[in-house]
Structure 1
Amino acid sequence: MMTNLFSVFDPSTNIMNLSLNWLSTFLGLMILPLIYWMIPSRHNVIWFSVIKTLHNEFKTLIGPTGHNGSSFIFIALFSLILFNNFLGLFPYIFTSSSHLSMTLALAMPLWFSFMIYGWINHTQHMFAHLVPQGTPAALMPFMVCIETISNVIRPGTLAVRLAANMIAGHLLLTLLGNTGPSLTISLLSLLMFAQIALLTLESAVAMIQAYVFAVLATLYSSEVN
């Protein structure tokens, strides 16, 4: 039962053993040519306002010591995750953001780059982060261990949070959808209402998880400056 249930996340579509599921990750690029219209569409106006809002917020989180233009890295990260989360809500489209191979590939390079930059350029500042201010001398060794562990697991928590949230909603939609053929008409109408409500919730989760991933990555980068 569990094998059949989780098989909906398997990258099984292929032509001549060439997997085509991961191509859904790049479907968002099809929307980009709209940006180059002479007269911006409503879609472009909305998207530019979202980008401007995110830029102002990420710039505030990074702080005055951050490099110019560094917020656009996290805006691009937010856009990539948002596109993939939304594409996964459509039928027969592979949800790449529900796989740890995708989410870890986003989280690990960011965390490694932050750590390398911080320890090379701000070594004393990074050592100071290991011991919170006001910690008693007897507790300092334990605090160093706790802070080190919490720092090391950051990319894992970023990746698992995104993948688990996407998997949970899709599994619930799949489980409810599979009960449809065995229900009566009255229960089927109730099931359709529940599925629409869950799909609306998943749309909100897709936006929230992309925002949370980008904001946490921004906060991690601000700690090394």
Structure 2
Amino acid sequence: METLDIKINKMKQYINTKDISAINKLKLSVIKDNNKYNLNEDDFKYIDEYNYYVKFLRNLKRYIKSNDKKNIIIKEYKDNLDRLMYIIISIDINTISVGIPVNIQTLSGSKNKAYMECVYYQYKERSSLYINNFRAIKSKKGYGRKILINLKDIIRDINKVLKENNLKEVKIIEGLLVADENIISEKDLRNLYKKYGFIIDNQNNISINL
């Protein structure tokens, strides 16, 4: 019988390799209180970590299934607790709406997450990514910050997909600063944007050149 630490390492390998086909075949279940008696004593210290990675992979399977018609970019990072996590990007190249929806979000085994809902617009003189909505489930968990600190790197990968589809690269990110006061104050959100290089005008328009 495999110990939990061995199972955890196997799940981490799947996450590292990003082998979606193999991940979709996995059958995973969290360890609940009523079935802990099946474990060896040494396994108890790994239960929380094991459940985290099970939930991570299950969340990933659901995400891929619901976005299977879109271009998907997966980027691996670590969260504030040194656990593996993804920033995952979907680009709906084949949309029939004005602009191309681009969604950026954190994906992990935690209920906490951040997401940035954007639209790509191509103009004659330039192309831009407009942020329609930037939210975190809870503040000060590091997920929104994780997106912002890696945003230019994320845009480089988005630009690769755009170029492959004969579209212009994103040269500027724009949006409107709107804080959900139940999660973060406008002052704190303003400071967060400024910390990562955004310019904010007196009408709360935000922008950053790439």
Provide TM-score, normalisation by structure 1: 0.26
Name the one with the larger strand percent.
2
**Which protein shows a greater Rg?**
1
Higher relative contact order (CA 8 A, sep 6+): 1
| TM-score (norm: length of structure 2) | 0.28
